[in-house]
Structure 1
């Protein structure tokens, strides 16, 4: 068994960090300490938990300068955008702290004389967070802060590609003086993670990642009667109606397609445009795409960094080549982007037309800077194509007609419906998916439901 993990940077292919996996004793100590610390933590008042969690958020933000450069080295996002993830981290964390008193408040049914009845929300125990590399702070904080606020202990298993993020979380918790043993960052391999899930020592697992990995999580949990929150893949569609604000739609959909090099579960990967405006939309979309600067993410001028590794880039190259072989047209010349190099992690953005749903690029998650655009003859065709997917995370409708957006949104099989925006998580709303995009909810008041259990009190005080 390999005892160390190497973090290979997509920037230059060199080893950026190397760490030891946790050994069996460290895992056992963490699980035992978490159980002990949680028993005391749940007795703390909500205001005490809020103060300590807020201090942890402050401590993380104080490390912003170092974090931005680390992100670029670890997963390739340009430094000019690195601070944006921390802004989102803060927004989500502060919101979940603020709504905790309401979300965790007792539920009291209609009074009955002689009885006191209420439903209390109690913590589950220990929550295992298995976080991905693409938005390593945002995805992890979706569970970590509300889990702690609800009175749970947390064990974080971060992706090896962003292992330094796990260390930053641990550092922030120490600086905030969280109780010893309440939060642990563990470097685990796949077998160790499965063993922790199957151990009976954790009561909830929240995972963000691929469909196949989600199936592995469920297999490990089989028979354990623990909760599973799964945010898996996406192939998110957009529909641009004839009445859309064309300039606004183009600007936001280009960003929604290519931000973070398309490495987002809710990135826009397929676009359907009313035939009346299709030529104008494609022309403007391509023109704006050509303005991206592909290059070293540590340089301020760079707006598009490398994919996480060469293998990920080659997968997208294969999708593009396969689509072109089936009749699609690629509208972007990769040679216009000097950093694009076959076999490397650096990949130029690509816009494909004359695409069909027989092509992988319109069916399978790309997780890279490519988007297919199709003309449609109205709402019915657009909705049918948008729903023609094994995924259902988010979908966007671009129109000036609010009533139409709400009507069409009711027909979409997706977790989130956007109007005139995309690729954004509002912490006041439930983040969830349908079909192969996952199960469970994070964020919003509903996000606390999967981190607590209901306990009913039926007290007859007049006899």
Structure 2
């Protein structure tokens, strides 16, 4: 039987090793899920929500342990990892709060002699495939509403973060969730693809790369099941002439470099009005130079390693190519002694003199680099913001709410922020356009993805 190995980006050590599920174990998990779901869907919603809330509490009680494990598995600085545990609690709690209203029957106007309503029925078994960069947050977006809607869930996490799947399932088991309703599987890519094709699986929620999303669609083709795909991003920020400069610098730079830039909705390109451009660049570079690159388990570290050395080399390649094409690099890697080629440790970088002929402005970087480009006004900024195959989020910085609203309506993105970025409000629909995917998680609309409508049309007077 093959094994899964999680190599910590902190020091290259083997942090977790697990056996991959065998075909027999996968078959057993599917059968258990199908059987358990038939009972779970008939469990009153109030009981499902109560178990969900107990699971949230059990999960939150282990915050310190979960935060330390997350730091070692994927390399986020320990000073920040607890924030993901709290984010999990916030999102899961919101979906529990709105479950009753979101899943309520849709009652139609009275029609003499008839009773008519629409009920939201669970789909059956949902497969949730979660990535390593925000392993708890991306998973809970689909797991919590799927369970509360009456589905069974099979959770497959990245090989980089296998403990996350185990800890989530354990929290729900501790809360009293019936056996088989929520299970995890450690799987190879090939077995994951085969699982998507399994007749028992009636929905797939995937967060990951564009090629990974294409694999999910191909594997599910012809099965007539739902797929929710949250894929890549190359999210822009636009700083208008009337923006609060200090706030725009602080917020957009944090959005670009938090989690070492390994965020689907992180800021990867910034367009600044020419009247603010020089001052913005000066302040942005000064702020980035304050980052401390180092081991993630050091409480003083503010910028950890990338997930693996190959990822760091990819970003270095984008930077080197942009500089060769005329871009200016404002950060000297020598100022960050931990930056060593062949390791996951990479100094942050700010580039100017960039344009859309450079990969760093069009291809997802997923690392600590951002390009800053001067623009003459809204029309040029809008054209550049929309000049992308991605469309997850976009950010506008402006004091003029009305002007920003008019501009936001023309931006091709699933979420448009004003004076903030890189944040998911669980009350809002989380979705993307173009190659950033399709479908929706969170909000009441997220429940619609995990249920199907069933109409009841009764003639009550004969």
Q: TM-score range by the shorter chain?
A: over 0.9
Task: Measure how far apart 1:6 and its partner are.
Answer: 0.8
Aligned to 2:202: 203
Q: Deviations over 1:196-231 (max 9, x none)?
A: 111111100000000001001111111111110000
Q: Specify the SS of the correspondent of 2:161.
A: helix
Where do residues 44-123 of structure 1 align in structure 2 (5 Å cutoff)? Answer: 44-123=43-122
Give the corresponding residue for 2:341.
342
C-alpha deviation, 1:175, in angstroms? 0.9
Q: Give CA deviations for 1:246-288 in whole Å, capped at 9, x if unaligned.
A: 0111111110000000000000000000000100000000000
Report what 1:145 is aligned to: 144
**Alignment-derived partner of residue 305 in structure 1:** 304
Partner of 2:406: 407
Give the whole-Å Cα distance in 2 for the aligned partners of 1:311 and 1:111.
63
User: In the aligned structure 2, how far is the partner of 1:206 from the partner of 1:446?
Assistant: 15
* 1:292 alignment counterpart: 291
Q: 1:172 is paired with a residue of what secondary structure?
A: helix
CA distance in 1, matches of 2:379, 2:399: 18
Query: SS of the residue aligned with 2:424?
Result: coil
Matching residue of 1:220? 219
SS at match of 2:229: strand
CA shift digits 1:161-209 (9 cap, x unpaired): 0001111112112211110111111001111111111111110000000
Moved over 2 A (4+): none
1:146-185 matches, cutoff 5 A: 146-185=145-184
The Cα shift of 1:425 comes to 0.4
DSSP-derived class of the 1:160 partner: coil
TM superposition shift of 1:342? 1.3
**What SS does structure 2 have at the residue aligned with 1:287?**
helix
Distance 2:334 2:89 in 1: 39
Which residues of 2 match residues 368-383 of structure 1 at below 5 A? 368-383=367-382
Alpha-carbon displacement from aligned partner over 1:1-41 (angstroms, at most 9, x marks no partner): x6101111100111111110001111111100101111001
SS at match of 2:35: helix
User: Superposed, which structure 2 residues align to 1:253-292 within 5 Å?
Assistant: 253-292=252-291
Report the equivalent of 1:427: 426
In structure 2, how many angstroms separate the alpha carbons of the residues matched to 1:173 and 1:250? 41
Paired position in structure 2 for 1:462:
461
Tell me how far apart the structure 1 counterparts of residues 168 and 21 of structure 2 sit (CA, whole Å).
17
The corresponding residue for 1:387 is: 386
For the residue of structure 2 that corresponds to 1:34, the secondary structure is helix
Aligned partner of 2:436 in structure 1 is: 437
Instruction: Give the deviation of 1:109 after TM superposition.
Output: 1.6
Structure 2 residue runs of 5 or longer lacking an equivalent are none
Task: Determine the structure 2 residue equivalent to 1:364.
Answer: 363
| RMSD of aligned alpha carbons | 0.6
Q: Find the residue that maps to 1:269 and give its secondary structure.
A: strand
Q: Deviations over 1:397-432 (max 9, x none)?
A: 000011011100111011000000000000000000
Specify the SS of the correspondent of 1:296.
Answer: coil
Residue in structure 1 matched with residue 191 of structure 2 by the alignment: 192
Question: SS in structure 2 opposite 1:87?
Answer: helix
Task: Give the length in aligned residue pairs.
Answer: 462
User: 1:443 deviation in Å?
Assistant: 0.3
1: CA distance, partners of 2:323 / 2:284: 19
